[in-house]
Amino acid sequence: MARKLKTYQTSLGFFDLAMAAPSMKAVLEAWGADSNLFHQGAAKESDDPDVIAATMAKPGVVLRRPVGTDRPFSEHAELPTDLGGGPTKAARKSKGPKAKKPSSRPVDKAAERKAAHAFEKEQKRRQLEQAKEETARQKDRERRQQAVNKAQAALDKAEQEHAKRAAAIQAEVEALEKRSQAEKARWDKEKERLEATLRRARG
């Protein structure tokens, strides 16, 4: 059974954020918060009828508006234009503490159920998108690993071929050295015999 949705609000960066969700945990995940903003007093459940209506129309979708303004929430809000040190329009309008009117919106069970189902649908869409992104990242990692393995195999094969050729050359060098030594020994012996013959011929 779909859980009843509530509307939550916070401010992150240049935007106020609002979203209809079944729990604080669900909304923190959707906002991408890495800490509990509710415990820190940076987020709250909204009782503003306009904000509730906007989020219930798009449950599970993070809505934004420029921080410090009273513009309506939407999926694609523009950056705030007044980033100076002066008070914002909204701050000037509400200098003193002002009690919010409790929501006079009648409880519409059918609309609540519809919003809860829409939230679950949006949550599943977001999870599917995350799963697709993770699958794409995994495929990219696998492709990179295959390229690394292929390059490593080529390097290993080339090193083995080099070692084989170097060993063959070394064997040839050693054989030539033996032949050189044998030739030197033969020549020394031959030279000694010929010199002896020459000495005898000279008398």
> Quick one: pLDDT at residue 188?
95
Which residues are CB-neighbours of 41 under 8 A, at least 6 positions away? none
pLDDT tens for each residue of 118-164:
787 887 888 888 889 999 999 999 999 999 999 999 999 999 999 99
Element (H, E) at 173: helix 109-202
Tell me how far apart the 2 most distant CA atoms of the chain are, in Å.
144
Element (H, E) at 118: helix 109-202
- Name the residue with higher pLDDT: 62 or 116: 62
Q: How many CB atoms lie within 10 A of CB 54?
A: 21
At residue 81 the predicted structure's pLDDT band, cuts being 50, 70 and 90, is low
CB 24 within 8 Å of CB 33: no
User: Cα separation of 138 and 20, whole Å?
Assistant: 32
pTM of the entire structure?
0.44
User: Cα separation of 119 and 21, whole Å?
Assistant: 7
